[in-house]
Chain A
Amino acid sequence: MIDLQNIQYKSTKGETLLELDHQFELNQFHVILGPSGAGKTILLELLAGLVQPTQGELIFEGTKVTNLFPEVRKFGYLPQDNVLFPHLTVRQNVEYSLKIKGIHNQTLVEELANRLKINHLLDRKIDFLSGGEIQRVALVRSIVAGNKVLLLDEPTAALDPALKNELCYLLKEIRELYQLTIIMVTHDIEVAYMVGDQLVFLIDGQIQQTTQLPVVKFIPANLKVAQFIGGYNLITGQILFTNQQVSFETNGLKLLVEDGYKTIPPTTEITLGISSTALNLVKTNEDLSNVVQGKIKRILQKQHSVLLFFEPNHTNFLFEIELNHQTRLAPPPQLGDEIYVQFPEENLYLLN
């Protein structure tokens, strides 16, 4: 286990950039998700031993490694750019750690080069490698160095969709094959779902939520996570209790929410979140709860879906409704149409 105990990292100006207490299980694929400036790269540098925490301890397999040099710690680090040494060939890059230690292990190099399909690149200069090839060479180099923990900083950021999928598959494969622990930073939620065993949401230097994958239904733990993921309709209002029911009310819109929210004190200012894909278009408001009537104010066509901007009657806010091309109603809704939208209780989240 990699145990981060009360870790705090402050900038030279005294600003707290990272504050966390977290355990990473070994032999798992952990994905750190968060927006730019969330402290993701600092977390990787801290794990690699390239920066020192202002306070707290880092324990690796029961041993304190907080003050150990990176070369002793042996956490492989693949930054976002400047990954390979430009003055060395691919082979020299791959064999770098062996040369440092004066070891000769051609069998391991050849085996890994074959498995990660870089054997035909070994004697090339790195100048003409593609983004995907650079990442594969760097992975081989790190595994050759004997690193059992790999820290990857946005490895898919510069790749086109096809290469991105290929690298994700490869990362999953080598993780299992070589029993590695991978901690990868990304802001791409799709990539995170493709590779991860655990998602860690790091926002504003703090872990906001951890989710073990696969997950049947993802529920954002708080407003920051919902805002980061995107695709959520977020509106501010108040909690009310009427006739043993809990409801959310704001500017002429009243929606019943699940009983679990009873613990929130009434009249508390709170944000309601609902995913744009969780709103249902219905034909009428009969026999259904939480059905709101309103108009379609805007329509945006996306590659695989259509985005409707719905304004409930007597309100002045817009809800985004994303309809998949395959599941959307026929005939498709038109601009200005009066429609009924159901806000299912189980998909309404009250977020702090």
Chain B
Amino acid sequence: MKQKTSYRYVFFVFAISSVYLVLIGTLFWFFDPTKFVQIFTSDRTFYSLKLSIGIATVVALISTLLAIPAAYALSRYKFPGKQFLDNLLELPMIVSPAALGAMILLFFSTKYGSALQDHTTQIVFAIGGIFIAQLITVVGVSVRLIKSVMDEIPVRYEHISRTLGATQWQSFRTVTLPLAKKGILASYIVAWAKAVGEFGATIMVAGAMPLKTETLTTSIFLRLSSADIDGAVIFIILLLSIGFLALSLFRFIAKKSTR
């Protein structure tokens, strides 16, 4: 039954949304179309865009691949320390990204962190740092999202497939994974959008060096710091567009998966 609309409640939706609308509108106040093409086609912008999108794509992929088995284990099994580990995975959501970034930085300043860098690749103030900072920030979210997808899939289906001759792996591959496919894809998009928009942890670990570790978000920070308002506005609009595109894609997939 359709409820009669109560405008007293609807007012709050408009009131809260109007704050965001005003903020978006302000951007266009400062937006200079003549500088748009010049800034947008510069090498520095292209580098930041390529770096942000490229790393976010890889980070979201690795994060999703790591999250699938972890989420499955949390959803299906009881094991010692489960509650503690489940809470620990919330860390990126309850701790500020800057604090998380500082924690990563502190780890790499220990002898173990230094040894790890010596034997692998440079992390601190390098592209590797962007990757590590984003992965650590995003993987917890991926686990949380994919776990909720797994929780929605009745374990009965796996039981039936086992009685039809499927091994545990075959059951996971042929039943659980196809049923979770759309949810996993949606969680990949959220992870990707979160990685593209990540700032706090990234700047702590990788710094903000133009044409080296300058992502789209650090670019806004750098341009505002040097009073380059036009440049900052263009980057904000770019990030907004990416965000809305990701959101639309997520909603589209979520809608299809509920059909």
Which residues of A does B touch, CB under 8 Å? 12, 45, 48-50, 69-71, 73-79, 81-83, 85-87, 96-97, 99-101, 141-142, 145-147, 151
Contact = CB atoms under 8 A, between A and B. Distances in A.
Given A82-B154, A85-B157, A100-B170, A70 B163 contact: yes
A83 B157 CA distance: 7
Given A79-B156, A82-B157, A71 B179 contact: no
Given A82-B156, A85-B157, A86-B179, A71 B162 contact: yes
Question: Which of A49, A85, A97 has the most chain B CB within a 10 Å cutoff?
Answer: A85
Interface residues of B, number: 19
Contacts of B159: 45, 48, 50, 70, 77, 79
A330 B167 CA distance: 66
18 contacts: A50-B162, A69-B162, A69-B167, A69-B168, A70-B159, A70-B162, A71-B163, A71-B164, A79-B160, A85-B160, A96-B166, A97-B166, A100-B165, A100-B166, A141-B164, A142-B163, A145-B164, A151-B163
B126 to A, nearest CB: 43
Given A71-B167, A100-B170, A100-B174, A83 B162 contact: no
Contacts of A79: 156, 159-160
A50 B165 CA distance: 13
User: Which of B160, B162, B163, B165 has most A Cβ within 10 Å?
Assistant: B163
A117 B197 CA distance: 56
Given A77-B159, A79-B156, A96 B179 contact: no
A85 B161 contact: yes
A48 B164 contact: no
Contact of A87 (B154, B162, B163, B178): B178
A76 B164 contact: yes
Contact of B163 (A75, A99, A101): A75
Interface in B128-168: 154, 156-157, 159-168
B114 to A, nearest CB: 46
Nearest to B175: A85
Contacts of B78: 12
Contacts of B161: 85, 96, 100
A229 B164 CA distance: 34
The 10 tightest CB contacts between A and B, nearest first, are: A70-B162, A77-B163, A82-B156, A97-B164, A145-B164, A82-B154, A97-B165, A87-B178, A50-B159, A71-B165
Given A77-B159, A147-B163, 9 more contacts: A45-B159, A69-B162, A74-B163, A74-B165, A76-B164, A77-B160, A78-B160, A82-B154, A86-B179
Contacts, number: 75
A142 B165 CA distance: 10
Contacts of A49: 162-163
A209 to B, nearest CB: 28
A155 to B, nearest CB: 14
B105 to A, nearest CB: 43
Contacts of A73: 163
Among B78, B154, B160, B174, which residue has the most Cβ atoms of chain A within 10 A? B160
Nearest to A146: B165
Contacts of B166: 71, 96-97, 100
Contacts of B168: 69
B156 A96 contact: no
A142 B160 CA distance: 9
Contacts of A78: 160
B80 to A, nearest CB: 13
A241 B67 CA distance: 75
A93 to B, nearest CB: 9
Contacts of A81: 156
A54 to B, nearest CB: 15
Interface in B170-199: 170, 174-175, 178-179
A145 B164 CA distance: 6
Most chain B beta-carbon neighbours within 10 Å: one of A71, A141, A142 = A71
A79 B78 CA distance: 23
Contacts of B163: 48-50, 70-71, 73-77, 142, 145, 147, 151
Nearest to A150: B163
Nearest to A92: B174
Most buried by B among A74, A81, A100: A100
